[in-house]
A and B are shown apart, each in its own frame.
Chain A
Amino acid sequence: MPPAIQVDDVTKRFGSFTAVDRVDLTVEQGEVFGFLGHNGAGKSTMINMLLDFIRPSAGTIEVFGNNCQANGVEARERMGVLPEGYGMYDGLTGRQHVQYAMESKGVDGDPLDMLDRVGITDAADRAADGYSKGMAQRLVFAMALLGEPDLLILDEPTSGLDPAGARAMRETIITENERGATVFFSSHILEQIEAVADRVGIMHHGQLVAVDTIDGLRDMAGGETKLLITVDNFTDADVDGIAAIEGVEQAEIGDDGRLSVTCSKETKMDVLLALNRRDIDVLDLQTTEPSLEDLFVEYTRRS
């Protein structure tokens, strides 16, 4: 079974600017892969090479074993694509857009069913060049879903969508994945990737600086949890006592007077029990786990 996406040592230069720098990446069939990076990090360049809009300066890209440059049509036959920077066809309604996509992909069916699925049935017979960004995004997403593609390529899929629309799209992504589709989507919004992706790749300045599961990335960047505890009374000795617990990395009194403890996930309860043994009442407790944002800052700073 060939991987859904196989990228081998791919570089893309525009003049003296290197947009993608020696990227290796394998996305297995059935995965939801989140492709994370700031604007201009090289995500869209990478996706545009998958679609053969632009050609790599070096290296090869394959989708289900089809070279994206030499056999681009075969590669795209198995893809459903929500690209970046598209425009709607002049004078065609939403329904006609889906109709044309169906003809192009050789898919039969009722366009309204697809428009229904993304919730723009009401606008089906309006000219699509008058759609809002969010509606256009839903329409093209509907076109991408046609014909049950084996691989969904979604470039910034939730841009222009309101929170409800973004949630609906995430649910559709999960549904499609359960059907068996591999999903490759890019975003600079971390929560969206966190919510659906099995694995994450982080692009920075054209390089793929990390590829891992979200948990794996967390572990790699230090799997600590931070506890912010509001207590009624304690002494420096108590703080030292907490700091001495195995698994606690740091314990100190913060500027706001709260006890701040950095520890591994498993040590949380030990800290609370220790406070209880010292007759210190816990009035309030707040825990923060490192978000993908923290990981992202950590990784992009390091490279």
Chain B
Amino acid sequence: MTGWPTVARKEVRGQLGSRTGKLGIGLVALVFVVGGYIVPTTSSDPTMTDYDGFLRGILLFLVPLFGLLLGYRAVVAERVAGQLTLSLSFPYSRADIVLGKAVGRGLVLLGTITVGVLAGAVLVDYPFGTVALDTLASYLGATALFGLAYLAIGIGLSTVTSSLRRATVLTFGVFFLSVVAWPQLDGIFLQALEFLNLASDELPNWAVFVHGADPSILYQRVLDTYVSPNKIQSGAYLGSTGPWYLQGGPAVGLLFGWIILPMVGGYLQFRRTDL
């Protein structure tokens, strides 16, 4: 009758109402603000590129962690503790529950990152810096997509497990593998491909694409394309002369894929399971 918007509203209220929720939201927003506060002290004419350069190392860990922690309990915690029993005795479909939770928590994540980035950008801009609006929008959009991808992965995990402990283990497994380990593995891939005579000296483009399909590398590729184009890396982004599928645009598309696929996959499993 009322559907997922009611669930989403309750999710937002729940996140903003709980102490841990407020604490997490506050900490993440604070990092963005502190970045905007510090960058002008290190650069005489700061821009979003400096802001990105200063914060990227931290955000590559902080944003995925925030997204995963916001998502991984969403469904499984209520399933284990019985609130889901109550919700599903109301006229909600399971899609209403998953969508409502995703939208509600997605709004919390978007709000946190938006407020943090805007506040940080104001501090960069005033009094000595310059913030171009299109760069700001790109930065905000890329960071939001990055966070939403890990939120979706977290919620996806939350829908396929029936025990909170398994969800926790999987979540930290994903965090370690995708955020910590995977971006460091390009050297090993190169050695393996060289051993197979598929590469010499550097990774072929297709291998860069495969390795770069990880959300945190995609995020860097998007930033290197739209926010910090002057610092071309040899790793994730080969510059505008590289093949089209290694440009920022397709990377944005892939980030959307990381949002949609875990959600849909998790939901399809959740839809047919016995609770």
| A residues apposed to B, CB below 8 Å | 14, 48, 51-55, 72-74, 76-77, 79, 81, 83-91, 100-101, 103-106, 140, 143-144
Contact = CB atoms under 8 A, between A and B. Distances in A.
8 contacts: A14-B274, A73-B92, A73-B93, A83-B85, A86-B82, A86-B83, A90-B18, A104-B6
Contacts of B92: 73, 76, 104
B85 A87 contact: yes
A53 B85 contact: yes
B274 to A, nearest CB: 4
B6 A103 contact: yes
Given A53-B275, A100-B10, A105-B1, A76 B89 contact: yes
Contacts of A105: 1-2, 90-91
A88 B83 CA distance: 6
Contacts of B88: 51-53
Contacts of A74: 91
Given A51-B88, A73-B91, A81-B89, A87 B6 contact: no
Given A90-B14, A105-B1, A85 B93 contact: no
B86 A76 contact: no
B81 interface: yes
Contacts of A52: 88
Given A73-B93, A104-B2, A89 B82 contact: no
A106 B2 contact: yes
B161 to A, nearest CB: 17
Contacts of B81: 87
Nearest to B85: A86
Nearest to B80: A87
Contacts of B89: 51, 76, 79, 81, 83, 86, 144
Contacts of B9: 103
Interface in B1-33: 1-2, 6, 9-10, 14, 17-18
Contact of B272 (A55, A91, A140): A55
Q: Is the interface of B mostly helix, strand, loop or mixed?
A: helix
Q: Which of B1, B6, B10, B272 has the most CB of A within 10 A?
A: B1
Contacts of A87: 78, 81-83, 85-86
Interface of B: 1-2, 6, 9-10, 14, 17-18, 78, 81-83, 85-93, 96, 272, 274-275
Query: Which 6 residue pairs across A and B have the least CB separation, nearest first?
Result: A87-B82, A81-B89, A54-B274, A104-B90, A87-B81, A106-B1
Given A53-B274, A54-B275, A140 B86 contact: yes
Contacts of A14: 274
A89 B86 contact: yes
A8 to B, nearest CB: 20
Nearest to B95: A73
A181 to B, nearest CB: 16
Given A83-B86, A86-B86, 19 more contacts: A51-B88, A53-B274, A54-B274, A54-B275, A77-B1, A86-B85, A87-B78, A87-B83, A89-B14, A90-B83, A103-B6, A104-B6, A105-B1, A105-B2, A106-B1, A106-B2, A140-B86, A143-B86, A144-B89
B91 A77 contact: yes
B17 to A, nearest CB: 6
Contacts of A91: 14, 17-18
A198 to B, nearest CB: 24
Contacts of B87: 104
Nearest to A74: B91
Contacts of A84: 85
A76 B82 contact: no
Contacts of A103: 2, 6, 9-10
Contacts of A85: 82, 85
B7 to A, nearest CB: 8
Nearest to B21: A91
A89 B89 CA distance: 14
Nearest to A85: B82
A199 B17 CA distance: 46
A104 B91 contact: yes
Nearest to A45: B274
B165 to A, nearest CB: 17
A48 B89 CA distance: 10
Contacts of A90: 14, 18, 83
A184 to B, nearest CB: 13
Nearest to B274: A54
A85 B2 CA distance: 24
